[in-house]
Amino acid sequence: MFRRTGVEIVTGFLGSGKTSFINSFLKISKKKNEEIIIFQCEKGKGIISEELTSDKNIVVKQFASNYELKENEFLRAVKFYAPNRLIIESNGVCSLDKLLLFLNSKQIKKYVKVTAIITIIDGCTFNMFFKNMASLILPNIQAADLIIVSNCSKISEAIAKDIIDKIKELNFHANILKSDFTYTMIDSLKNCSIIKKKI
């Protein structure tokens, strides 16, 4: 029976810590000889770690935004590499709904299925984005299976609690993690039930 590749979407605004999450996530979840493609649909400051890019079983493809993802090129990569997993680092200002429509289009859904949506939120900028760009941030929160509030060491406990309370009002089912930007990310992920299933 044909096996469809699982797609894990990592979304969030520029600088929220998406690439740091991917580095930590793969460090604890990648299995031996597992083939993985990473589609980076954003050109931020973060880079996929050398430890991962030097792994012959990991392929990284870079795009300026989600809108550069084209069906023919996407399918060519999936068919050629036949990956076990596919991670899309989604540009947070691009429509998540459009990305999901793309992945569920007639041809593409024959080869892939979305298995997780992970939203990274910068605790330092969340309230500003929530107030001024709610239409962009809400779909990413509402659709997420896992929400990580990063940079928590730079905000007070009261602000962190307020952010988490707002998130819970918008999404009843997601796992929510508080984390520092990078240093405590791995420890936080190891203790998350949704991540443990992939380890």
pLDDT band at 126 (very low <50, low <70, confident <90, very high): very high
d(CA 17, CA 150): 7
Is residue 155 within 8 A of residue 127, CB to CB? The reply is no
Express each pLDDT in 43-60 by its tens digit. Answer: 777 788 898 989 999 999
Q: Which two tokens stand for residue 124?
A: 């330092």
Is residue 192 within 8 A of residue 161, CB to CB? The reply is no
Express each pLDDT in 151-185 by its tens digit. Answer: 988 999 999 999 999 999 999 999 999 887 554 55
% pLDDT > 90, the chain? 59
Question: Which residue, 97, 100, 36, 89, is CA-closest to 65?
Answer: 89
| Statement: residue 189 has pLDDT above 80 | no
Where exactly are the structural domains of the chain? 5-196
**Region of residue 170 (phi > 0: left; psi between -120 and 50: alpha; otherwise: beta):** alpha
Lowest-confidence range among 103-112, 147-156, 182-191? Answer: 182-191
Compute the mean pLDDT over every residue in the chain, rounded to the nearest whole number: 88
Task: Give the C-alpha distances (Å, rounded to integers) separating 150 from 97, 165, 176, 190.
Answer: 24, 15, 11, 16
pLDDT of residue 199: 47
pTM given for the model: 0.89
Q: Which CATH number fits domain 5-196: 2.60.40.10, 3.40.50.720, 3.30.70.520, 3.40.50.300?
A: 3.40.50.300
Give the list of residues 6+ apart from residue 157 with CB closer than 8 angstroms, or none: none
Give the list of residues 6+ apart from residue 126 with CB closer than 8 angstroms, or none: 149, 163
% pLDDT > 70, the chain? 88
